Amino acid sequence: MNGKVGRPKVEKPKNIRYSVRLDIEIEEKLKQYCKNNRITKGEAIRQGLDLLLGNKKS
């Protein structure tokens, strides 16, 4: 039996958490964007931050 058990390690672990308050209009837009693009809210927020910081991935 193999000694390693569990999930494989990721290259860049996401272990820093933030909490933000959104109004209902922004929340609905975020949910719709995520649904249309089939991504999580966290991924959408990370993509937005990349755009703001000039780190857009092609």
pLDDT tens string 34-46: 999 999 999 999 9
Q: For the whole prediction, is pTM greater than 0.75?
A: no
Name residues whose C-beta falls within 8 Å of residue 22's C-beta, 6 or more positions apart in sequence: 30
Max Cα–Cα distance, the chain, nearest Å: 52
35 token code pair: 């649904």
pLDDT per residue over 9-26, tens digit each? 888 888 899 999 999 999
